[in-house]
Structure 1
Amino acid sequence: MGRTIIANIIRFVILIAIQVVLFKNIGYYNLASPFPYILIIFLLPIGIPNFMLYILAFVTGLTVDAFYDSVGVHAAACVALAWYRIFFHQITLDVDVQGTFETPALGNMGSKWYLSYIAIGTLIHHFVLFHVEYFSFQNYLSTLLSILLSSIFTILLIILISVLIYKRKSRLLSN
Structure 2
Amino acid sequence: MGSVVLFNLFRFVALIALQVVLFKNVGYYNLATPFPYILIIFLLPINIPNFILFLLAFATGLTVDAFYDSIGVHAAACVALAWFRIFFHKITLDVDAQNSFETPALGNMGSKWFLSYIAIGTVVHHIVLFHVEYFSFSNYLSTLLSILLSSIFTILLIMLISLLVYRRKSRLLGN
Give the TM-score category using the shorter length: over 0.9
Sequence identity of aligned pairs in percent?
Answer: 82
Partner residue in 2 for 1:8: 8
Amino acid in structure 2 at the alignment position of 1:142: S
Deviation, 1:86, is 0.1
The gaps in structure 1 that reach 5 residues or longer are: 169-175
Partner residue in 1 for 2:154: 154
Deviation, 1:99, is 1.1
Partner residue in 1 for 2:61: 61
Corresponding residue SS for 2:46: coil
Structure 2 counterparts to residues 41-56 of structure 1, below 5 A = 41-56=41-56
CA distance in 1, matches of 2:50, 2:99: 12
Moved over 4 A (4+): none
Q: Which structure's residues are more often helix, by fraction?
A: 2
Partner residue in 2 for 1:21: 21
Deviation, 1:96, is 1.1
Partner residue in 2 for 1:113: 113
Partner residue in 1 for 2:135: 135
Corresponding residue SS for 1:33: coil
Amino acid in structure 1 at the alignment position of 2:122: T
CA distance in 1, matches of 2:161, 2:142: 28
Q: Scaled by the length of structure 1, what TM-score is found? A: 0.95
**RMSD (CA atoms):** 0.5
CA distance in 2, matches of 1:131, 1:48: 28
Partner residue in 2 for 1:82: 82
Partner residue in 2 for 1:33: 33
CA distance in 2, matches of 1:106, 1:163: 8
The gaps in structure 2 that reach 5 residues or longer are: 171-175
CA distance in 2, matches of 1:144, 1:162: 27
Amino acid in structure 1 at the alignment position of 2:4: T
Q: Scaled by the length of structure 2, what TM-score is found? A: 0.95
